[in-house]
Structure 1
């Protein structure tokens, strides 16, 4: 069984998707993962990613967001 800890939840202004971030800690000393749940109406998309992938994703998103500030 895994323990799930809520980290953040927010709604995207355009498209009204709900994004939820959770930490998943697997029992028996398993790896912790970041779960990203995107809800669009009744449809869910779920990603469980490792810490290294989360860092790469976060860096790419931050780079993009900063590039938009100059426009």
Structure 2
């Protein structure tokens, strides 16, 4: 059984989506994964991503946000 730790819940005001970030630790060991759950109405999109992918995704989002003038 995996241990799931809630990290953050974000409500997107313009689209109404709910984004949840969770850490997934499997009982068998191995690397921790970041679960990204996006809820749109009754639909869910779920990604389990590794640390390297999370860094790349976060860096890209940060660069984009900075170009928009938000910090």
Q: Partner of 1:15 in structure 2?
A: 15
What is the aligned length?
70
TM-score norm. by structure 1 comes to 0.95
CA distance in 2, matches of 1:26, 1:15: 32
Structure 2: runs of 5 or more not aligned: none
The list of structure 1 runs, each at least 4 consecutive aligned residues, that deviate by more than 2 angstroms after superposition, is: none
TM-score norm. by structure 2 comes to 0.95
Q: How does 1:1-71 map to 2 (within 5 A)?
A: 1-69=1-69
Tell me which protein shows more strand as a share of its residues. Answer: 1
Structure 1: runs of 5 or more not aligned: none
- Alpha-carbon RMSD: 1.0
